[in-house]
Amino acid sequence: MATRYTPIHLQHAPVPRVSSFALLAGLEAGVRGIMISVMPLTVYRAFDDAAAVSLIYFAVGIVSLICGLMVPPLTRFIPRRWMYTVGTGMYLLGLSIAIFGPAKMIAFALMFNALGTVTIFICLNAYVLDYISRADLGRCQSMTMVYSATSWALGPVCGVWLMNWWAPAPFIVAACFAAMLLLTFWILRLGNGKQISRASGQTTRPLAYLGRFFRQPRLIVGWVFAVVRSCGWWVYVVYLPIFCIESGLGDKVAGVALSCSNALLYLSPVMLRYVQRSSLRVAVRGAFVLCSGCFIAASVAAPLPWLTVALMMSGSVFLVLLDVCGGLPFLMAVKPSERTEMSAVYSSFRDVSGILTPGVAWLVLLVVPVAGVFAACGVGLFAAWAIAGRLHPRLGVSRPSHGREFSNVPAE
């Protein structure tokens, strides 16, 4: 009888909404938005060599990839809510190393930040696939970007300004955001997500779910898009600041450019409506080919540094469009019984691009200056444009029988 008078919100955890996940993504963007401009510059100042920076990012990418693939097996023993908490703890550990450690320890700070990013990304994607329908995935992506836009727009330029004012300052601010992220996550009471058992009782060993991934062509194509898009951002975030420093523009120009590019996230609802009016295939192919042209032109214009920066900023417009729609082909094709495992596979795009980009850049830098990295990335973006021709023409188009955007993917 006593339970009759127990408030409903104490009996049942609230059902997560799109805004709940957007809020978490916005707070995490507060951490990453500041670090995205500060980390490359701090690593470059500590080692004073673009090739060394590439090798450090390459090594961190390998470690992050391995750890990311181990998250689904670990969730058999560690509940998802605690795995998410571990991810935020890695953020705090990495930022503490950056604040209190010697200069050369920044490589370890970068590694723990990368591990925190991949762990949180896997868990958050699994939560989204648990609670958000396929029809609402596009709206979830768009709202997430709007919530994150302020952090991504102001974070890079503020991070550089804080770093020049007092070296530990940006890391302290990022640590405050990480603490707020952890507190908000527990207030939202997301729990461990929905538990869906598999009828065939498949194992969660990494090699097992990687095998299931490679047997699904639509997942492979969607993952490739994410990798190439991420490579574009890696080049923009890491190598454009180095180019600005080596060409005499200073360390603030790239931070301002990144902030301006990230401010385009406010336009993500408009971009989503464009995708819905045309189709996912048209939007993805157009974004890849136009971004490719901008990056290659920026490499050719290297003798004119300001023109190079302007062309790279133009290319970032299409990277933002890819952020809006480029992940949808993968997310639409995921089976409900494979949410956690395929979230781990999808999250590996960040680590693979973190390995591929500095690895290719290191080889390019052996023969040409930093601007050559822009051209190499442009070639990769053009290859993605060709692969995008395999997308179904009606993917992402409203179906009369459903009346909603981004419904189930048509069978091949």
pLDDT value of residue 248: 86
Q: Is 391 helix (H, G, I), strand (E, B) or coil?
A: coil
Under DSSP, the state recorded for 216 is -
Q: Are 371 and 298 in contact (CB under 8 A)?
A: yes
Within 10 Å of residue 345's Cβ, how many Cβ atoms? 24
pLDDT in tens, 300-321: 999 999 999 999 999 999 998 8
290 in any annotated domain = yes
Tokens of 145: 């970007």
Distance of alpha carbon 255 from alpha carbon 203, whole angstroms: 45
Q: What is the pTM of this model?
A: 0.72
Q: Residue 9: how many CA atoms within 13 Å on its side-chain side?
A: 4
Tokens of 235: 């080049």
Angle at 27 between CA 157 and CA 343, to 5 degrees: 110
What's the CA gap between 18 and 403, in Å, rounded? Answer: 20
List, in order, residues 6 or more apart from 141 with CB less than 8 Å away.
Answer: 268, 272, 323, 324, 325, 327, 328
Please report, for residues 39, 225, 343, 393, the alpha-carbon distance to residue 121 in angstroms, rounded to integers and kept in the order given.
19, 17, 8, 29
> Exposed, middle or buried: residue 402 (CB in 10 Å: 0-12, 13-18, 19+)?
exposed
Gap between the terminal Cα atoms of the chain: 55
How far is residue 336's CA from residue 132's CA, in Å, rounded to a whole number? 11
DSSP string over 309-321: HHHHHHHHHHHHH
What is the Cα–Cα distance from 209 to 71, expressed in whole angstroms?
A: 12
The whole-angstrom separation of Cα 11 and Cα 9 is: 6
Residue reference for tokens 């590996």: 348
Residue carrying structure tokens 């997308």: 391
User: How many domains, in total, are found in the chain?
Assistant: 1
- Report the pLDDT value the prediction gives residue 14, as an integer from 0 to 100: 61
Within-domain flag for 399:
no
CA-closest candidate to residue 31, choices 107, 112, 104: 112
Domain with 126 in it: 16-191+207-390
Residue 349 included in any domain: yes
CATH of the domain at 324: 1.20.1250.20
Question: Does 38 fall in a domain?
Answer: yes
Domain-embedded: residue 411: no
Tokens describing residue 94: 């990495």
Using one digit for the tens of pLDDT, what is the confidence trace for 322-365? 888 777 777 777 776 666 667 667 777 877 888 888 889 888 98
Q: Whose structure tokens read 């639409």?
A: 332
Report if residue 402 sits inside a domain.
no
String of DSSP letters for 2-67: GGGGS-HHHHSPPPP-HHHHHHHHHHHHHHHHHHHHHHHHHHHHHH--HHHHHHHHHHHHHHHHHH
Q: Do 195 and 287 meet the contact criterion of CB atoms below 8 Å apart? A: no
What string of H, E and C letters represents the secondary structure of 260-277? Answer: HHHHHHHHHHHHHHHHHH
Is the residue at 240 inside a domain? yes
Q: Is residue 405 part of a domain?
A: no
Is there a contact between 268 and 310 (Cβ–Cβ < 8 Å)?
Answer: no
Render each residue's pLDDT in the chain as its tens digit; 412 residues. Answer: 444 444 544 444 566 677 788 888 889 989 998 888 889 888 888 887 878 888 888 888 888 888 887 887 887 788 888 999 999 999 999 999 999 988 889 999 999 999 999 899 888 877 887 777 766 666 777 778 778 888 888 888 888 889 888 889 999 999 999 999 999 998 887 766 555 444 344 445 555 667 777 777 878 888 888 899 999 998 998 899 889 888 888 778 888 888 888 888 778 778 878 877 777 788 888 899 999 999 999 999 999 999 999 999 999 999 988 888 777 777 777 776 666 667 667 777 877 888 888 889 888 988 888 899 999 999 999 999 998 887 766 655 555 444 444 443 333 3
Torsion sign over Cα 225, 44, 31, 240: negative
Distance CA 392, CA 313 (A): 30
